[in-house]
Structure 1
Amino acid sequence: MNPSWLTDWRWPAGIPQPNFLWPQFLWLLLVLPLLILLYVWLMRRKKKMAVRYASLSIVKEAMGKGPGWRRHVPPLLLLLALTLMLLASARPVAVVALPSNQQTIILAMDVSGSMRATDVEPNRLVAAQNAAKAFLTELPRNVKVGVVAFAGSAQVAQLPTVNREDLVTAIDRFQLQRATATGNAIVISLATLFPDAGIELQQLSFDRMRGTGRSLDQAPPKVNEFVPVAPGSYTSAAIIMLTDGQRTTGVDPLEAAKMAADRGVRVYTVGIGTVDGETIGFEGWSMRVKLDEATLKGIAQRTAADYFYAGTAADLKKVYETLSSRLTIEKKETEVSALFALAAAVLALLAGGLSMLWFNRIL
Structure 2
Amino acid sequence: MGYDVNFLWPELLALLLVPIVFAAWYIRATRKTTDTLQRYPGLTASLPTASKDRAFLRHLSPALFIAALTLLILAFARPVATVMLPTLHNTIILALDVSGSMRADDVQPNRLDAAKAAVKEFVELQPDSTRIGIVSFATAASVVQAPSRNHTDILNAVNQLQLQAGTAIGSAILISLNTIFPDLKIDLGTADFEPRAPDKNLRNPAANDPLRVDRSQTIVPPGSYKNAAIVLLSDGEATTGPDPIETSRIAAERGVRIFTVGIGTAEGQVVSYGGWSMKVALNEDALRKIASNTGGEYMYAATGQQLTDVYKSLSARFAYEERETEIGAILVGVAAVCALASALLALLRSHRIF
TM-score bracket for the superposition, by shorter chain length: 0.7 to 0.9
- Paired residues for 1:50-199 under 5 Å: 50-51=37-38, 53=40, 55=42, 57-58=44-45, 65=52, 72-199=59-186
Give the equivalent residue in structure 2 for 1:231. Answer: 222
Tell me the amino acid that sits aligned with residue 146 of structure 2: L
Seen in structure 2, the aligned counterparts of structure 1 residues 272 and 27 have a Cα distance that, compared at 3 Å, is: same
Q: Which runs of 5+ in 2 are unaligned?
A: 201-207
Cα distance in 1, alignment partners of residues 342 and 209 from structure 2: 78
The answer to whether the Cα contact below 8 Å between 1:191 and 1:200 also exists between their aligned partners in 2 is: no
Give the equivalent residue in structure 2 for 1:32. Answer: 19
Give the equivalent residue in structure 2 for 1:9. Answer: none
Give the equivalent residue in structure 1 for 2:289. Answer: 298
Matched, 1:242 2:233: yes
Cα distance in 1, alignment partners of residues 336 and 123 from structure 2: 43
**Is the partner of 1:107 in helix, strand or coil?**
strand
Give the equivalent residue in structure 1 for 2:306. Answer: 315
What's the CA shift for 1:79? 1.9
The answer to whether the Cα contact below 8 Å between 2:248 and 2:290 also exists between their aligned partners in 1 is: yes
What's the CA shift for 1:26? 4.2
Matched, 1:341 2:328: no
Q: Deviations over 1:305-324 (max 9, x none)?
A: 11111111110111111111
Cα distance in 2, alignment partners of residues 219 and 92 from structure 1: 46
Residues matched between the structures, number: 344
What's the CA shift for 1:145? 1.2
Give the equivalent residue in structure 2 for 1:6. Answer: none
**Is the partner of 1:101 in helix, strand or coil?**
coil
Indicate which of 253, 262, 268 corresponds to 2:244. 253
What's the CA shift for 1:17? 4.2
Cα RMSD after superposing both structures: 3.5
Seen in structure 2, the aligned counterparts of structure 1 residues 219 and 328 have a Cα distance that, compared at 3 Å, is: closer
TM-score by structure 1 length?
Answer: 0.81
The answer to whether the Cα contact below 8 Å between 1:114 and 1:245 also exists between their aligned partners in 2 is: no
Runs of 4+ with >6 A deviation: 59-62, 67-70, 218-221, 352-363
Cα distance in 1, alignment partners of residues 338 and 167 from structure 2: 63
Give the equivalent residue in structure 1 for 2:317. Answer: 326
Tell me the amino acid that sits aligned with residue 126 of structure 1: D
The answer to whether the Cα contact below 8 Å between 1:206 and 1:220 also exists between their aligned partners in 2 is: no
The answer to whether the Cα contact below 8 Å between 1:202 and 1:220 also exists between their aligned partners in 2 is: no
Cα distance in 2, alignment partners of residues 89 and 58 from structure 1: 46
Q: Which runs of 5+ in 1 are unaligned?
A: 1-13, 213-217
Seen in structure 2, the aligned counterparts of structure 1 residues 18 and 317 have a Cα distance that, compared at 3 Å, is: same
Cα distance in 2, alignment partners of residues 312 and 94 from structure 1: 37
